[in-house]
Amino acid sequence: MRKSSFTVEDATCPNVKKIHNTVNEHAKMNETILIIGDKNHPEVIGIKGWCENTRVEIIDSVEEAEKFTAESGEKICVVSQTTFNLNKFEQLVEIIRKKRYDINVINTICNATRERQEEAKSLAAASDCMIVIGSMTSSNTRKLYEICLDTCANTYYIQTINDLEFDFAQEVHSVGITAGASTPNKLIEEVQTNVRNKF
């Protein structure tokens, strides 16, 4: 067999790699791994792949958290998808804590995601209208939209400048704009310019 001269580099995000190592370590200790996140998201599927020979559960809703049960003496390691909604993570963890299981909660939401969510919530609270820019398939943008919508009823989720429509039921004096981590700066600038021209 001929050897190639390719060099293989592991480009996994360090935050995600940390979760892989964490769940792998706890799985080896026969602990149940509880992942809080979207079960169809590639990151969550990847995390699950590091949990060999142990029980793995994925939870992303209040209903699933309430249904979760563990055996007496079962140890549970709780981690999160890095882009999950921080407030929702804390809510789901609290539901599980109330069951008085032996749990070890490791908040693995990435700092940049956490800060962006907190800033979006604060901006939404101070705005008459919020515009969230990003792909409909982006998990972190979807979470930003949910957070903003909880705080500001006039929250709009757009993918391109063509989705931007101004049809407000009330007078708008302030418009907040936030965007997902992978949204191009050029698109954000276009939306900002359009909003300034309108108002």
Q: Which of 44, 70, 105 is the last residue of a domain?
A: 105
Q: Which of 59, 89, 105 is the last residue of a domain?
A: 105
DSSP assignment letter at 162: G
Same domain, 87 and 119: no
Tokens 């699950």: give the residue. 48
Identify the CATH number of the domain in which residue 172 sits: 3.40.1010.20
Containing structural domain, residue 100:
14-105
Which pLDDT belongs to residue 181? 82
Just list the catalytic residues: 43
> Quick check: is 29 in a domain?
yes
d(CA 97, CA 72): 14
Indicate the number of domains in the chain: 2
> Quick check: is 65 in a domain?
yes
> Quick check: is 185 in a domain?
yes
Torsion sign over Cα 33, 35, 40, 46: negative
Is 89 a residue whose pLDDT tops 80? yes
* Model confidence pLDDT, tens digit, residues 109-119: 988 888 889 99
Same domain, 120 and 41: no
Same domain, 75 and 128: no
Which pLDDT belongs to residue 126? 94
Same domain, 137 and 183: yes
For 33, 52, 157, the CA distances from 68, given in Å and listed in that order, are: 12, 20, 32
Can you tell me the mean pLDDT for 180-198? 87
Same domain, 88 and 121: no
Q: Which of 105, 127, 157 is the last residue of a domain?
A: 105
Contact 22, 51 (CB under 8 A): no
31's tokens: 């602990």
Which pLDDT belongs to residue 198? 74
Which pLDDT belongs to residue 140? 85
